[in-house]
Amino acid sequence: MCALRTHSRGKIDLKQGAVNLRPHDRARAWVIRIILWVILVVTLAPLLYVVSASFSSTDALSSASLIPLHATLANYVNVFSSGFLRWAWNSTEVALVVSAAQLLITSTAAYAYSRLHFLGRKYGLMVLLLLQMFPNSMAVAAIYAVLAQWGLLDRLWMYMLLLIGGSAFNIWLMKGFYDTIPIELDEAARVDGAGHFRILMSVILPLARPMLAVVFFLSMIGYYSEYILAGTVLQSPSNYTLGLGMYNLINTQFAQNWGLFSAASLLSAIPLAVAFGFLNPLMARGLTAGATKG
């Protein structure tokens, strides 16, 4: 009855419901709020130091005052003369190309595991996931030896090709979403004469757009900031990604440019923020898909 009054009378009864909470429910709500506030402060504190250092006139990462005494935009001006734009373009290109390629591989492979019956279907994806559990750092020496032998080091396209192969987790994620799509839709399309390709393009993918957005954005985050494999394959400054280029800003022999590094860190978040803004409506539906079923 309380729920009906809340639905019919809106905010007034919502406020009354908050006042009429039982004591232990009210205490639990405050405990949750305090925990969230603590997590928020702990999460934002390092970011505040980065913002402060980016406006500081010194190269120190932290100072006695969180607000710089002599704030300046010199770090943001100098960051564009350090090769930042080239690094950002390389990272954005790698993230977009690899994420798009993995989206193509993921959507088709997940359809095969979800809808087709073939030898090795039951354990094939599990084997891929087991192989993905081993970190890339374990294969760095072998990758370097092979690429050096074939003269393929310091090539951005080869770096992208190496990254495209790691899509087992995305296939597993997409397969789980395909499994929630009723098989009756496939059967209805098959009655109309549609094959597997037409079913995938006209039935499955339009319904899977939220999960496609999730897979694309998560892949983009991972490959935009990838460092270990990039440090192995890429060698010339013109091919550096953001991870490699920004590492050189604080790895100089005589000084560590923390102010310049902080400004570059904040600017490097812009492409991901733009992508999140465009994909957020679809991602919200994709991440909650399957939470309520029936």
Range of the domain at 115: 82-287
Span 182-208, average pLDDT: 91
Alpha carbon distance 7, 31 (integer Å): 27
* CATH, residue 137: 1.10.3720.10
Instruction: Pick the range with the lowest mean pLDDT from 60-64, 130-134, 171-175.
Output: 60-64
pLDDT of residue 284: 66
Alpha carbon distance 93, 224 (integer Å): 9
Question: Do 6 and 136 have their domain in common?
Answer: no
pLDDT digit string, tens, across residues 206-243: 999 888 988 898 889 889 988 889 989 998 988 999 98
At residue 101's C-alpha, the angle toward residues 98 and 107, to 5°, is 130
In percent, the amount of the chain with pLDDT more than 90 equals 31
Alpha carbon distance 157, 219 (integer Å): 17
Answer yes or no: is 60 within a domain.
no
Question: Do 27 and 155 have their domain in common?
Answer: no
Q: Which of the four pLDDT bands, split at 50, 70 and 90, describes residue 4?
A: very low
Q: What is the mean pLDDT of the chain?
A: 82
Answer yes or no: is 72 within a domain.
no
Task: Name the domain count of the chain.
Answer: 2
Alpha carbon distance 89, 245 (integer Å): 12
Answer yes or no: is 171 within a domain.
yes
Distance (Å) of CA 201 to CA 85, 196, 212 = 37, 9, 13
Answer yes or no: is 200 within a domain.
yes
The H-or-E segment that residue 168 falls in is helix 168-179
Q: Which of the four pLDDT bands, split at 50, 70 and 90, describes residue 17?
A: very low
Question: Do 103 and 181 have their domain in common?
Answer: yes
pLDDT digit string, tens, across residues 92-106: 999 999 999 999 999
**DSSP string covering 8-50:** HHTHHHHHHHHHT--HHHHHHHHHHHHHHHHHHHHHHHHHHHH
Q: Does position 19 have pLDDT exceeding 60, yes or no? A: no
Question: Do 34 and 168 have their domain in common?
Answer: no
Answer yes or no: is 271 within a domain.
yes
pLDDT of residue 62: 63
210, 286 Cβ separation under 8 angstroms: yes
